[in-house]
């Protein structure tokens, strides 16, 4: 645990980050079940993998909060986005990931501004991972747009 009192704004970023990551777990898990019911088993597996990765992010945020001496706390989870097809789900997920990226960019900038090196590095790592995730979503969506509808289950 740190001896100094953590910056209140950093704590706010951590709480919002935990809320978003737990919201992502809920969203991707629900979407995995939904697309599985459509018979898109490979897409379901990919969404379950995404849910697991977001859960790992939430776990790291909890670990960070405990390390700086605060109890993990998140606010309200975002509602799950349910759409009528895989492409629409992925577009909703792109928007969600863009929100997460903006939060991590803002958190990184704030931490740099207040000289909190450890938190800056922590948020930068999460930012890089979420940017990669968005790149993967973009590529998945692009592939879906190139493939006839009946073949969508085989592409991720």
Q: What's the predicted TM-score (pTM) here?
A: 0.89
Please identify, in words, the CATH class of the domain defined by 8-74+85-147. Answer: mainly alpha
Q: What is the pLDDT of residue 156?
A: 46
Identify the residue whose tokens are 């704004």.
9
How far apart (Å, rounded) are the C-alpha atoms in residues 13 and 20? 10
Identify the residue whose tokens are 């939060």.
103
**Coarse DSSP helix, strand, coil percentages of the chain, rounded to the nearest 5 percent:** 80, 0, 20
pLDDT level of residue 75 (50, 70, 90 thresholds): confident
Cβ neighbours of residue 142 under 8 Å, at least 6 residues apart?
none
């Amino acid at each position: 645990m740190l001896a100094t009192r953590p910056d209140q704004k950093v704590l706010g970023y951590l709480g919002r980050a935990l809320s978003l990551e737990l919201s992502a777990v809920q969203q991707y898990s629900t979407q995995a079940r939904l697309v599985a019911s459509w018979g898109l088993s490979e897409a379901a597996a990919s969404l379950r993998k995404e849910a697991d990765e977001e859960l790992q992010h939430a776990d790291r945020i909890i670990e960070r909060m405990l390390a700086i001496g605060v109890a993990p706390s998140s606010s309200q989870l975002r509602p799950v986005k349910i759409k009528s097809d895989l492409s629409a789900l992925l577009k909703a997920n792109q928007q969600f990931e863009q929100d997460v990226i903006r939060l991590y960019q803002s958190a990184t900038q704030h931490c740099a501004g207040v000289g909190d090196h450890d938190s800056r590095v922590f948020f930068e790592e999460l930012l890089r991972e979420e940017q990669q995730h968005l790149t993967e979503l973009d590529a998945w969506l692009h592939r879906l747009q190139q493939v006839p509808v009946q073949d969508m289950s085989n592409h991720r």
